[in-house]
Chains A and B, each alone.
Chain A
Amino acid sequence: GAVVSQHPSWVICKSGTSVKIECRSLDFQATTMFWYRQFPKQSLMLMATSNEGSKATYEQGVEKDKFLINHASLTLSTLTVTSAHPEDSSFYICSVKREALIGELFFGEGSRLTVL
């Protein structure tokens, strides 16, 4: 069964609105979650590392004020795309590292965001 659940799987919004994406670790506690973005026919680009109880670490070029990450519990991390614009339209995927299996990442189903 699914190890990581991501919601919503797809969302359409108007420019200027904010969208929240949730990522839940179902089977184990996750102190670290990763957020990736994938444009059509491109690779997964790491956006940020979400750490439970502390501020997220953002990759170079990713605006922390635009992509708000909150990792409030050991099973939930949220990504909020603020003031979304059409260029933010993408496939956002969260992933969780299971400590007992060093290295392997479990991915959520992904959230396809379309900004009109």
Chain B
Amino acid sequence: GENVEQHPSTLSVQEGDSAVIKCTYSDSASNYFPWYKQELGKRPQLIIDIRSNVGEKKDQRIAVTLNKTAKHFSLHITETQPEDSAVYFCAASNPQAGTALIFGKGTTLSVSS
């Protein structure tokens, strides 16, 4: 089955800096890669996703890149703000095959002002 590795487990940045979180996946059949943000005690919220027919996607301060050959995908947050502090999870699945999302272990991002 799918296995998703995520690094780093914790990340501390100064407000205004950029943050990068990286993930790798094992199943070459996976073609959907979302990123979720989870605040303490809350449900995960989708912040951006990318499909395997695209190499990069951007939404304001957030961007995701995908290297399908290397089975790598990354989340980039620019101009970080204190409210970006949360736990971020990457995930992978093959929706067409009906598989569930398999999550990475998460990255705790702390943005200090």
Tell me which of A34, A42, A105, A110 has the highest count of chain B C-beta atoms within 10 A of its own C-beta. A105
Q: Does A108 contact B43, Cβ atoms closer than 8 Å?
A: yes
CB-CB contacts of A73-116 with B at 8 A, as 1s and 0s? 00000000000000000000101010000111101111010000
The total of Cβ contacts below 8 Å across the A-B interface reads 48
Contacts of B32 in A (CB 8 A): 102-103
How many residues of B are in contact with the other chain, CB < 8 A?
21
**A112 to B46 Cα, complex, angstroms:** 21
Report which of B44, B51, B98 forms a contact with A44, defined as CB distance below 8 A. Answer: B44
Tell me which residues from 59 to 101 in chain B have a Cβ below 8 Å from any Cβ of chain A: 89, 93, 95-96, 98, 100-101
Q: If A103-B32, A104-B49, A107-B43 touch, does A42 touch B105 (CB 8 Å cutoff)? A: yes
Which residues of B pack against A, CB within 8 Å? 32, 34, 41-44, 46, 49, 51, 89, 93, 95-96, 98, 100-106
